[in-house]
Amino acid sequence: MTTPKTTPTPAKIPVTVLTGYLGAGKTTLLNRILSEPHGKKYAVIVNEFGEIGIDNELIVNADEEVFEMNNGCICCTVRGDLVRIIDGLMRRKGRFDAIIVETTGLADPAPVAQTFFMDEAVGAKTKLDAVVTVADALWLKDRLKDAPEAKNQIAFADVILLNKTDLVSGEDLSELEARIRGINPYARLHRTERANVALDEVLGRNAFDLDRILDLEPQFLQKDDHDHDHDHHNDHSHHGHGAHDHHHHGGLKHYHDEDMQSVSIKTDKPLNPDKFFPWVQDLVATEGKDILRCKGILSFKDDPERFVFQGVHMILDGDHQRAWKDGEKRESRAVFIGRKLPIEKIRQGFESCIA
Amino acid sequence: MPNLLPLVPAEAGTQLLALDSRFRGNERRIHSSMSDITAPIPSLADRVRSVAAGAAVVGVHFFGSTPVFVLGEQELLFAAEAAEKRVAVHEGGILASVSDGERIVTGGDDGRLVATDAQGAHEVIATDTKRRWIDQVALAPDGALAWSSGKTAQVLTKGRTGKGELRSFEAPSTVAGLCFAPKGFRLAVAHYNGATLWFPNAAGAVPQMFEWKGSHLGVTLSPDGKFLVTSMQESALHGWRIADGQHMRMTGYSARVRSLSWTADGNFLATSGSEQLILWPFDGKDGPMRRQPQMLAPSQARVVAVACHPKQPVVAAGYSDGSVVLVRLDDGALIAARLADGQPVTALAWNFNGQVLAFGTEAGEAGVLTL
């Protein structure tokens, strides 16, 4: 056809996924998001009408309908209802700034996340912003024992709200944090009462944006003055309980969770891309069922640019991010969070990719 | 540059047809010779009457030769040449629309089903009590109406006098497509893991389910009533021969197939979803089984809307770059009806005698071409 006139690509609508076990405080957080005077409009996809007390014409009721793509591959499960609802919502774009998907308490966050990678139309118009998990400080310890869904939600999260902190002692909170860190050391963790967190700590996180993979240090090792978020302007003030997680590392006990672990591997030797790509693709193809999330920053031999990747189960996404800076340590690092991970196999495989 | 692609594990399940490999082979060949089609083609674009819809156009229908654009929110835009008129029919987004030339029926996210006539008079036919979206609508040749919200499909039969009767059907999962059979009173319902043919008038008749694993997002029946075809999440069509349930898989698309249209003679099913117009042959008793599709009008942009001419072997194809072309099926000759502007075509239809073509884009630009 003829050469198209250039039209700027419209910004993708960010989508925040709100998970949490039954009664943890998802709806409280949602109500706060909808009622605070932030001047933004949210389209909200919920699984139950009626709980939200806020009048919002863009609340959509969804039946969580997960299905398996490609004739039954469990790792390619997608929320079909989201595909349809986002199609429908995008007819009204301009009416809202972002979408929030509230899942049921027993939901696995993976199919929601995978929907954004597997459906081309959804992926073209919206982008996954972050998975936010609300955990009940009073009951989390029990749920981690008896509810695999609750553990999944913690492992999958980019942001965790340890809610209802007023109901437990400081000592118990520290232990809970340590348990959470044993499962997922990379999420941002906030202690909250009645889900009172600064909203920019849960929204606009860009956690799935390859360009935002800045470092892969476990969150509890970071210092207060070493904040790696540059996406908003007032982030550095310490609000409420939001920053508490940084204060307790000194005495943090280390918990090893038997089911769910994370493995972090790194090398300062450059990798061979011709070895790395087949290895990581084969790894997620064979172990993807148990790998919930993965992320990496890689330095390839004779490559002046950083390569970043991330994945959800068997789905991988990756690209060159930017040139390595002068004086920047050219280190390759990858983290995997998953269930009963073959840690030694992953470690050896990664090391075999050294150029 | 190395790049990681989404990994899609090899497909399990029965391989019923070998259409895929041929299709993909052809696709590649066409792509490699694509420079040819940048050559200028005859254009009627300067004869198009443009209509400023001002909002995303999500559908277009006709009353006679007057195009009526369905907008993404609230309104129908009656775009007669003499005067334009906007009629607000929903309090919110319009999710689905269908017309038989006598009325336009729309479903909205306000939970309402609304019928609008040629004068713009409209009435609410049904309201979902929970204000759930009404996102699928269909009209039968006899004027019966079907719609769905969630898992429930409902049919309002055409009463000889007064109101018809209301029947309802519970699908196993959310209804994602509805279509009446061209003859006989049957409704095809697309859902997870297949599609179901339901006979709303035959009390006690067991709905006939055609199974195929996956999410089926749209449904159509061939004009001769012999084939049931669904569009799937996996950028493929699935078909069944109704008589014996024989499967046919039509794959090789680069995107989900969102637009389906049967040629006037019923011999071909024109589809979007690829960087060319794809036409599957349905003229024999085996449909497209063991046959190749026709592939016409290749472009760098993707076909996103198709509309077969109601009389002639001509198909209008709308692309993701905003271009619209008329494609003559006999020889693949092309005439431009709209030039690319980067805005995906989201509505495309002929009027009933095939003399007027109307189209609209996501950006709210619409056009009318009278031949």
DSSP letters of A258-279? SSEEEEEEEESSPB-HHHHHHH
Alpha helix stretches (DSSP H) within chain B:
19-32
Give φ, ψ of B98 to 5 degrees.
Answer: -155, 155
Contact A112, A310 (CB under 8 A): no
Range A238-256 average pLDDT: 49
Amino acid at B26: N
Under the banding of pLDDT at 50, 70 and 90, the label for residue A92 is confident
Determine which of A91, A120, A210, A322 to mutate to test the interface with B (most B C-beta atoms within 10 Å): A91
Of A4, A285, A319, the CB nearest to B342: A4
- In degrees, to the nearest 5, what angle opens at C-alpha A307 toward C-alphas A304 and A308? 155
B123/B117 Cα distance (integer angstroms): 9
* Token duo for residue B124: 């609410």
Range A313-321 average pLDDT: 89
Res. A303: pLDDT tops 80: yes
Residue B360's alpha-carbon distances to A169, B57, B109, B261, in angstroms, are: 61, 5, 21, 17
Range A274-287 average pLDDT: 93
Q: Who wins on pLDDT, B160 or B237?
A: B237
* Token duo for residue B14: 């029965």
pLDDT at position B276 is 95
Range A276-300 average pLDDT: 93
pLDDT averaged over every residue in chain A = 84
Determine which of A2, A82, A90 to mutate to test the interface with B (most B C-beta atoms within 10 Å): A2
pLDDT tens for each residue of A123-163: 889 999 999 999 999 999 999 999 999 999 999 999 999 99
Best CA proximity match to B314, nearest among B371, B235, B257, B250:
B371
Q: Which of A31-40, A74-83, A136-145, A217-226 has the lowest mean pLDDT?
A: A217-226
CB atoms within 10 A of CB B247: 15
Residues of A in contact with B322 (CB under 8 A): 4
Indicate the pairing of strand A305-312 with strand A291-299: antiparallel
Under the banding of pLDDT at 50, 70 and 90, the label for residue A9 is low
Contact B261, B307 (CB under 8 A): yes
% of chain B surpassing 70 pLDDT: 89
Mutual orientation of helices A148-156 and A170-183 as an angle, nearest 10°?
80
As separate numbers, helices (DSSP H) first and strands (DSSP E) second, chain A gives: 9, 14
pLDDT tens for each residue of B119-153: 999 999 999 988 899 999 999 999 999 999 999 99
Best CA proximity match to B238, nearest among B258, B210, B263:
B210
| B151 in reach of chain A (CB within 8 A) | yes
pLDDT at position A50 is 54
3-state secondary structure of A92: helix
% of chain A surpassing 70 pLDDT: 83
Of A6, A72, A314, the CB nearest to B213: A72
Placement of tokens 């989900």 in the chain: B256
B219/B187 Cα distance (integer angstroms): 10
Res. A226: pLDDT tops 70: no
B81/B367 Cα distance (integer angstroms): 11
| B173 in reach of chain A (CB within 8 A) | yes
B25/B204 Cα distance (integer angstroms): 48
Under the banding of pLDDT at 50, 70 and 90, the label for residue A220 is low
Residue B345's alpha-carbon distances to A155, B305, B325, B367, B370, in angstroms, are: 42, 7, 11, 11, 18
E strand or H helix at A123: helix A120-125
pLDDT at position B244 is 94
Q: Nearest CA of chain A to the CA of B214: how many Å?
A: 6
Q: Which of A28-42, B236-250, B343-357 has the lowest mean pLDDT?
A: A28-42
Chain B, nearest residue to A87 by Cα: B95
Q: What is the largest CA-CA distance in chain B?
A: 69
Res. A195: pLDDT tops 60: yes
Q: Nearest CA of chain B to the CA of A3: how many Å?
A: 7
Res. A113: pLDDT tops 70: yes
B13/A101 Cα distance (integer angstroms): 33
List residues bridging with A260 in a β-sheet.
Answer: A339
Best CA proximity match to A103, nearest among A76, A75, A82, A119:
A82
Q: Nearest CA of chain B to the CA of A47: how many Å?
A: 12
B344/B338 Cα distance (integer angstroms): 12
> If 0-12 CB within 10 Å is exposed, 13-18 middle and 19+ buried, where does residue A240 land?
middle
Give φ, ψ of B60 to 5 degrees.
Answer: -145, 140
Give φ, ψ of B29 to 5 degrees.
Answer: -60, -45
pLDDT at position A225 is 34
Residues of A in contact with B174 (CB under 8 A): 63, 65, 80-81, 84
Q: Who wins on pLDDT, A238 or B91?
A: B91
Contact A340, A324 (CB under 8 A): no
pLDDT at position A344 is 93
Chain B, nearest residue to A277 by Cα: B4
A272/B360 Cα distance (integer angstroms): 49
DSSP-derived letter for residue B104 is E
Residues of B in contact with A277 (CB under 8 A): 2, 4
Cross-chain residue pair A118–B38, CB shorter than 8 Å? no
Under the banding of pLDDT at 50, 70 and 90, the label for residue B190 is very high
DSSP-derived letter for residue A1 is -
Placement of tokens 């919110």 in the chain: B92
pLDDT tens for each residue of A71-87: 556 667 889 899 999 99
List residues bridging with B347 in a β-sheet.
Answer: B360
Res. B268: pLDDT tops 90: yes
pLDDT tens for each residue of B220-234: 999 999 999 999 998
Of A80, A91, A117, the CB nearest to B93: A91
Extended strands (E) in chain A: 13-20, 42-46, 59-61, 66-68, 77-79, 98-102, 126-136, 159-163, 188-191, 260-267, 291-299, 305-312, 315-323, 332-339
Q: Which of A99-103, A217-221, B35-39, B366-370 has the lowest mean pLDDT?
A: B35-39
Give φ, ψ of A238 to 5 degrees.
Answer: -95, 110
Res. B37: pLDDT tops 60: no
pTM score, whole prediction: 0.85
Indicate the pairing of strand A291-299 with strand A332-339: antiparallel
pLDDT at position A334 is 94
* Token duo for residue B242: 């109704």
Res. B34: pLDDT tops 50: no
| CB contact set of B207 (below 8 Å; sequence gap of 6+) | B169, B196, B197, B198, B199
Cross-chain residue pair A67–B322, CB shorter than 8 Å? no
Of B92, B322, B325, the CB nearest to A4: B322
pLDDT at position A217 is 72
DSSP-derived letter for residue A354 is B
Range B14-19 average pLDDT: 28
Res. A68: pLDDT tops 90: no
Q: Which of A96-100, B31-35, B218-222, B289-293 has the lowest mean pLDDT?
A: B31-35
SS3 percent helix, strand, coil of chain B, rounded to 5, is 5, 50, 45
Cross-chain residue pair A69–B214, CB shorter than 8 Å? yes
A126/A98 Cα distance (integer angstroms): 9
Q: Nearest CA of chain A to the CA of B73: how many Å?
A: 6
Best CA proximity match to B29, nearest among B295, B247, B246, B371:
B295
Q: Nearest CA of chain A to the CA of B130: how many Å?
A: 9
What b/e string do you get for B150-166 counting C-beta neighbours within 10 Å, with b at 16 or more? Answer: bbebbbbbbeeeeebee
pLDDT at position A53 is 58
Res. A212: pLDDT tops 80: no
Taking a contact as any Cβ pair under 8 Å apart, which residues of chain B between 226 and 285 contact chain A?
233-235, 255-256
pLDDT at position B187 is 97
